[in-house]
Amino acid sequence: MATSSKVTSPMAAAALLLASLSGVNAFWRMDCHSPLGLARIDPLVDYGKIAAHSHIIFGGDNFSPTAGYDDLIASESTSCRAKEDKSAYWTPSLHFQHSDGTFEVVGNQGGMLAYYFLRDGGTGQQIKAFPAGFQMIAGDTNKRNFTGPVPDPPESDWTADELTQASLAEKALGFNCLNYASGKTEPSLFRHFLPDKSFLDANCADGIRLELSFPACWNEAAGVAPKGSKSHVAYPNLVQDGVCPEGFSTRLPGLFYETIWRTQDFVGKDGQFVLSNGDPTGYGYHGDFIAGWDVPTLQKAVDTCTNLDGTLESCPVFTLQTQPEMAAVKLSMPADLKNENCAGPESTLPGNVPIQSGPQPATDNHGGVAAPTYAPSSYAAPSKPVVPTVSPKKPVYSKPSYPGSFSIQDIQNAGVASTSRIATSEASSTSAAVYVAVTPAPSAPAETDGGSIIGTTTYTSDGAVWEVAIKEIDITVTAEPTGAARRRRHLAQHRHIGDSHGL
């Protein structure tokens, strides 16, 4: 715990302001710190076969091309922090295509955070633990365009077109430009496409965070694992919160993946970023999940671990393991894949997946058969993906995407004056929200304002992993509409707890 450890690097003026209103925005953040592996394995889409494209994989070590609930539950260990969580989490890896045509995987920073949002859309419904055998896919690997307005209109202005499941699903993807020193932050799910390399080079000194929100509404009658792993679930009408559509009345934890890729390692190199499924646009980003929880245990965590700080430490249901323990957990690679080098550099993407920029849907090359023969394209300026240009300087702050929660990257990024963010946000928000204002770390701690430490969290910066203690002190915020006193949570200390790792 950070509270009793030596502080190797101090931090200052780091404050997190919590406007605690409805109290329904509890969540916890499963830290899956080390990949199980990078491999063409996908038991949901390509069961029993070599998958079409490569994935970065986290969770129970029994993961395989045929893994199901029983296999995962029988895992000896997991690369996620809570030993009770043997679930499987996987998404496409991000690659860089050099100007000579060769591909290399982009380094992953800090593994994956799998958030479990515990939201009921104000209905008071119980959130039901993922049942045995539950699996789902979010996103569409063949999608290559975006149909809605850019940027998203305020939620209150969403029309019927913006409330269709297809529209909610395309808004469930996020590409968050990270620049800890800039004092600027982007809300989660602010941008729904992968920015191009020149944008990333110019603006995202700390890489790009890929975000994926899973549907949280379940039609129990459709079962836990229908063909395609999608038709049994739907998004609530605000993507991450709101009410469930008719027929999908069971509320599940709102699963949300965050995976950071070190695009900054390629600054100054000519080429392009592309997802392992051959998608340079990001619209085809997706993710897969097979629950690997003992159901009563997960239900207990969902019912009782409702602390708004999101830390696993505040949930007594979990047995936590250390980063070295997580890092030691690797999948046993199937014989057919042992010699495949998904990381590269190689002349093609893993599986020889063609790059397809849309806007028409990509050709489905699933099936585990060899991808169509494709001459490794020597890098010629690829046809430009249809990506709207959004200024990074004008993030939409009017409504945070997931009120009541935050990621530490948001905290590190936020350099906006706390009072102004409270004012703008509360003016348009009806539910609880966390707002942050910090000086980019590492810097010196402000230890002068007292308060007690209420939780810890981790973040990565400059290739190092830091643990932060969150303090709570009382302040009064005058600029916000109700004028009420608010608790202020303060990132009080932090310490170096390890080095980040690439793949």
Structure tokens at 66: 């045929």
Q: Tell me how far apart the alpha carbons of residues 484 and 10 are, in angstroms, rounded to a whole number.
A: 31
Q: Which stretch binds ligand NAG (CB under 6 A): 59-67, 69-77, 315-323, 359-367?
A: 359-367
Minimum distance of ligand NAG from residue 363's CB (angstroms): 12
As measured in angstroms, the least distance from the Cβ of 177 to ligand NAG is: 24
- Residue 147 CB, shortest distance to ligand NAG, in Å, is 7
Answer whether 8's CB lies under 8 Å from 495's CB.
yes
Among 359, 372, 450, 463, binds ligand NAG (CB under 6 A): 359
Nearest distance from C-beta of residue 285 to ligand NAG, angstroms: 13
Residue 143 in contact with ligand NAG, rule: CB under 6 A: yes
Q: Is 360 helix (H, G, I), strand (E, B) or coil?
A: coil
Q: Minimal distance in Å, beta carbon 235 to ligand NAG? A: 17
Q: Are the CB atoms for 84 and 293 separated by under 8 Å?
A: yes
Q: Does 388 bind ligand NAG (CB under 6 A)?
A: no
Dihedral of alpha carbons 92, 93, 96, 100, sign: negative
Shortest gap between Cβ of 386 and ligand NAG (angstroms)?
8
Residue number with CB closer to ligand NAG (361 or 451) = 361
Q: How far is CA 177 from CA 194, 196, 211, in A?
A: 9, 11, 11
To the nearest 10°, report the CA torsion of 200, 204, 206, 212.
-80
- Beta carbon nearer to ligand NAG, 213 or 357: 357
Choice between 304 and 360, CB closer to ligand NAG = 360
Taking the least distance from each CB to ligand NAG, the nearer of 33 and 143 is 143
Minimum gap (Å) between residue 192 Cβ and ligand NAG: 13
C-alpha atoms less than 13 angstroms from C-alpha of 78 in its C-beta half-sphere: 27
139 versus 350: smaller Cβ distance to ligand NAG: 139
Is 363 among the residues that bind ligand NAG (CB under 6 A)? Answer: no
3, 9, 145, 424: which one binds ligand NAG (CB under 6 A): 145
Q: Cα 440–443–447 angle (5° rounding)? A: 115
Judged by CB, which is closer to ligand NAG: 228, or 359? 359
Asked whether 135 and 229 are in contact (CB, 8 A), the reply is yes
Least distance (Å) from ligand NAG to the CB of residue 278? Answer: 14
What's the CA gap between 90 and 72, in Å, rounded? Answer: 14
- Residues of 434-472 as b/e, b for ≥16 C-beta within 10 angstroms? bbbbbbbbbeebbeeeebebbbbbbbbbeeebbbbbbbb
Q: Is residue 361 a contact residue for ligand NAG (CB under 6 A)? A: yes
Q: Which of 260, 259, 232, 254 is nearest to 241 (CA)?
A: 254
Of the candidate spans 91-99, 353-361, 376-384, 490-498, the one that interacts with ligand NAG by CB under 6 A turns out to be 353-361
The least CB distance from residue 427 to ligand NAG, in Å, is 35
Nearest alpha carbon to residue 19 among 492, 491, 422: 422
State the nearest-atom distance from the C-beta of 41 to ligand NAG, in Å: 25
Give the binding range for ligand NAG (CB under 6 A) out of 59-67, 358-366, 393-401, 453-461.
358-366
Pick 23 or 359: Cβ nearer ligand NAG: 359
Among the listed ranges 131-139, 238-246, 357-365, 394-402, the one in contact with ligand NAG (CB under 6 A) is 357-365
The answer to whether residue 360 forms part of the interface with ligand NAG (CB under 6 A) is: yes
Q: Pick the closest to residue 107 from 295, 305, 281, 263 (CA basis).
A: 263
As given in the structure block, the two tokens for residue 205 are 């000194």
Nearer to ligand NAG by Cβ, of 357 and 458: the residue is: 357
Contacts of 34 (CB under 8 A, 6+ apart): 58, 79, 111, 323, 326, 327, 329, 501
Of the pair 96, 285, the CB lying nearest ligand NAG is at 285
Cβ contacts of residue 166 below 8 Å, gap of 6+? 147
Q: Which of the ranges 9-17, 102-110, 264-272, 355-363 carries the binding residues for ligand NAG, by CB under 6 A?
A: 355-363
Residue placing its CB nearer to ligand NAG in the complex, 37 or 148 = 148
From residue 138, alpha-carbon distances to 38, 111, 171, 172 in Å are 19, 19, 11, 9
Which tokens hold the place of 16? Answer: 């997190």
Closest by Cα among 272, 212, 209 to 240: 212
Minimum distance of ligand NAG from residue 215's CB (angstroms) = 18
Closest to ligand NAG by CB, 148 or 215: 148
Q: Which run of H or E residues covers position 199?
A: helix 197-203
- To ligand NAG, the closest distance from the beta carbon of 359 in angstroms equals 4
Contact 460, 110 (CB under 8 A): yes
Residue closer to ligand NAG by CB (options 344, 361) is 361
How many chain residues bind ligand NAG (CB under 6 A)?
Answer: 5
Does residue number 95 form part of the binding site for ligand NAG (CB under 6 A)? no
Query: Where do contacts with ligand NAG occur on this chain (CB under 6 A)?
Result: 143, 145, 359-361
